[in-house]
Amino acid sequence: MAKRDRFGSKIGFILAAAGSAIGLGAIWKFPYMAGTNGGSVFLILFIISTILIGLPILLAEFVIGRRGQADPVTSFKKQAPGKPWYLLGWSGLIFSSIILSFYSVVGGWILSYLVRAVFFKLKGGSENYFGELFGTIIQNPWEVIIAQGAFMLLTIWIVQGGIKGGIERASKWMMPLLFVFFIALVIRSLTLDGAMEGIKFLFVPDWSYFNGKTILLALGQAFFSLSVGVAVMITYASYLSKEEKLGSSALNVSLMNIGVSILAGLVIFPAVFALGYTPDQGPGLAFIILPAVFEQIPFGAFFMIIFFILLLFATLTSSISMLEISVSIGIRSNYDRRRKASWIYGIIIFLVGIPSALSFGVLSDLHILGMTVFDFADFITSSFGLPLGAFFMSLFAGYQLTKVELSNELKLGHSLFNTWYFIVRFAAPIAIIIIFVQGIIKLFL
């Protein structure tokens, strides 16, 4: 029987975990969430939520995962035998699968743009060209389903290769390239005429947006982009050796996530204002604005191909982490079943995602609580699944595990450990409850 796989190095683990965070959460979702929720105010709340709540819970998930050395369900059973904490593992599987079901739709959009870029079909013929193109793509039922399926095939192909041979190897090569390329895009975007208005939007607060709804959405974005609350990081940390320091790994992942989110904002918002667009264009923001930016760059067609290849990889680093949860639970200790489990769960999630893929076209009239299937899947995970999952993760680490067990696992300094311990036991759960209740009141009343 095959042995349980492991990450080969600390940097491989950090890049894989950061890849899960940096994917669409930072590059696609953060800009459009900030664009529709006040720009700078959303950024400030996002950073605060990430450092004060997201990071401590991320570290708690690292502890749970490495202590368990197993899939999330088995890990909770081993650390709390006879208690229902293992349900957190199952809820993580459910919500991560829902996320991947609509996440793969966006991955399909990226593939559609990449194919057009390769054949030099992304050329703006009019001021509204890219907006019209995006609408044409997402309303075409055959294209969105085929593209979504192709994206899921890529995800399955990587996950079936295992941790070291698939996930870690891909992360080590492509994450640094993505970061370098985004720096180049930021420089170009900031040199556009009128870019200063975009910088102001991102960094000068408009406090009229400071309300319960924005706070809830920023907290949900922190959880979504860090991949906490759905057992992704529990799964990844279970493949980590006991010698690695969890504190520095969690900090690096959090800072990289914040950094790339800001870089994505610096690419998009200066261009939004420089080219006369508005920042509140929703999920299509990156697909409408960025191609227009490339038209302003010498050899823009070539750079557009590179960008969509790297954006595809960033998306894959997140999707493989979400599929890995299902696979790890499915195979348990029978590691020879990885290939089969990858295909089974990948196909199921693809089928679940088809209504989301069609929600901008043939199913556009189908609404749940006034939202399309795509938007509802996003809402139910970001506003409910992730915060509630993070709430119970913090309770498990803070109350089920002893202080001695946590201290031995983390090996932090005395004052730093006590600060983290206080946040996980008291501050994070209370903050999540208050923000969650306020946000629900704002959303439904």
Q: Residue 283: which pLDDT band, with cuts at 50, 70 and 90?
A: low
Model confidence at 273: pLDDT above 90: no
Looking from the CA of 192 toward its CB, the CA atoms found within 13 Å total 28
Most confident range (mean pLDDT) of 43-57, 157-171, 202-216, 266-280 is 43-57
Model confidence at 102: pLDDT above 90: yes
> How many whole angstroms separate alpha carbon 309 and alpha carbon 3?
33
Name, in order, each residue with C-beta under 8 angstroms of 210's C-beta and a sequence gap of 6 or more: 38, 41, 45
Q: Read off the pLDDT of residues 371-417 as tens digits, 9 standing for 90 and up.
A: 899 989 988 887 788 888 889 999 999 999 999 999 988 888 888 89
Q: Is 204 left (phi over 0), alpha (psi -120 to 50) or beta?
A: beta
> How many whole angstroms separate alpha carbon 417 and alpha carbon 108?
43
- Least confident interval from 152-156, 244-248, 286-290, 386-390: 286-290
Q: Residue 127: which pLDDT band, with cuts at 50, 70 and 90?
A: low
pLDDT number for residue 1: 43
Q: Where are the domains of the chain?
A: 10-443
Model confidence at 333: pLDDT above 70: no
> How many whole angstroms separate alpha carbon 443 and alpha carbon 331?
40
Mean pLDDT confidence for 320-327: 90
Model confidence at 165: pLDDT above 60: no
Q: Residue 311: which pLDDT band, with cuts at 50, 70 and 90?
A: confident
Most confident range (mean pLDDT) of 171-180, 199-208, 231-240 is 199-208
* 198: Cα separation from own chain's centroid: 24
Model confidence at 62: pLDDT above 80: yes
φ and ψ of 371, to 5 deg: -120, 150
3-state secondary structure of 304: helix
Mean pLDDT confidence for 315-339: 84
Mean pLDDT confidence for 66-72: 89
What are 437's two structure tokens?
Answer: 């209740």
Query: Which of the two residues, 149 and 129, has the higher pLDDT score?
Result: 149
Q: Residue 237: which pLDDT band, with cuts at 50, 70 and 90?
A: confident
Mean pLDDT, all residues of the chain: 84
Q: Residue 76: which pLDDT band, with cuts at 50, 70 and 90?
A: very high
Q: Read off the pLDDT of residues 77-87 as tens digits, 9 standing for 90 and up.
A: 999 999 999 99
CATH number of 10-443: 1.20.1740
pLDDT number for residue 419: 93
What are 171's two structure tokens?
Answer: 């992360």
Most confident range (mean pLDDT) of 13-17, 24-28, 331-335 is 24-28
> How many whole angstroms separate alpha carbon 167 and alpha carbon 174?
11
pLDDT number for residue 144: 96
